[in-house]
Amino acid sequence: MLTRFAPAPTGWLHLGHVLNAEYVWGAGVGVLLRIEDHDRERCRPEYDAGILADLDWLGYRYQLPVVRQSERDAVYLDAAATLRAQGLVYACDCTRARLAEARQTSEAIELRYDGHCRDRGLPLTGAAVGWRVRMDAGVEHFVDGLLGPQTQDPSAQCGDLLIRDRLGNWTYQFVAAVDDFRQGIDLVIRGVDLLASTGRQIRLARLLGRAVAPEFRHHPLVMKSAGQKLSKSDRDTGIRDLRARGWTPEQVRTAVRSAESTGDRENR
Ligand code: GLU
Ligand code: ZN
């Protein structure tokens, strides 16, 4: 089996990552390191370098080469072509403001796209258009390795999925599904905050030709109280800060493992 560790270089490595790493490396299978730098606006090279240095320091060993999504444009274009050949991709020029306005109920957990541009026939090559994939109604079933049986309907949750934004950045949902497929990942281990993404990623992968979905395991997040105990400061859960304060790698890893209990959620 093959799994992956997939941080986005939009910040430093923190305790949430280390908890994920404990689950990922704890699975006892091969691990690829995938740097999820698909969003050019939010990623920074110093975070990328810092994440690698902190992983090294913590002692997590991964298979080479390190894969960066920013270098895989050809792979994503090819995957998008597979979807286009099935007539599933269309251009969308909706702004965030219009989408927020069209929001059906204020309690909706996430913004569901209302299909506004589905049949407008806008050219995919136009300026400032995103690309969306038609999500037909229908449920995806999977058995989470930690949470048990799950049922999700992507068309009801998110509607037609954005795979490329209006600036030309590939979206997380798309590149994660493409890479998990193309890299032969058959075990995906991540925080429960991404649980709602799984049905749509399974759907996308099937549309791309993936016959068997990976196994998914969604684990609890690092709790805020634990983070506070570890760092005595709300924001200061960066590994590099703990390191600068004299923590050893073993202390960090042990602390994260034992901290995984009760308290408030901390953002990943
Ligand atoms: N890059 C994502 C994150 O840092 C993880 C994606 C995934 O594991 O599917 O939250
Ligand atoms: Zn639109």
Residue numbers of the chain with a pLDDT score lower than 50: 233-234, 262-268
| Ligand 1 atom closest to 189 (CA) | 8
pLDDT at 268: 39
Q: Which ligand is nearest to the CA of 201?
A: 1
* Cβ neighbours around 197 below 10 Å, total: 21
Question: What's the 79 CA to ligand 2 centre distance in angstroms?
Answer: 21
In this predicted structure, what is the pLDDT of residue 263? 41
Compute the distance from residue 205 Cα to the ligand 2 centre, in Å: 23
Ligand 1 nearest-atom number relative to CA 197: 9
Predicted confidence (pLDDT) per residue in 76-133, tens digit: 999 999 999 999 999 999 998 888 887 765 555 688 999 999 999 999 998 999 999 9
pLDDT of residue 130: 98
Percent of the chain with pLDDT over 90: 81
End-to-end Cα spacing for the chain = 26
Nearest bound ligand to CA 13?
1
In this prediction, residue 224 carries a pLDDT of 66
How high is the pLDDT of residue 264? 41
- Identify the residue whose tokens are 């068997």: 212
Write out residues with Cβ below 6 Å of ligand 1: 6-8, 36, 176, 190, 194, 268
The pLDDT value recorded for residue 88 is 98
Contact criterion met (CB below 8 Å) for 241 and 227: no
- The angle, 0 to 180 degrees and rounded to 10, between the axes of the packed helices 15-26 and 45-58 is 50
Q: Ligand 1: distance of its center to the CA of 119 in Å?
A: 32
Compute, in angstroms, the gap from residue 99 CA to the centroid of ligand 2.
8
Report the separation in Å between the CA atom of 232 and the middle of ligand 2, taken as the mean of its atom positions. Answer: 45
What is the pLDDT, as a whole number, of residue 96?
85
Q: In this structure, which residue's CA is closest to atom 3 in ligand 1?
A: 7
C-alpha torsion 9→11→15→21, nearest 10: 0
How buried is 138 (Cβ within 10 angstroms: 0-12 exposed, 13-18 middle, 19+ buried)? exposed
Pocket mutation for ligand 1, best pick of 3, 39, 172 (most atoms within 8 Å of C-beta): 172
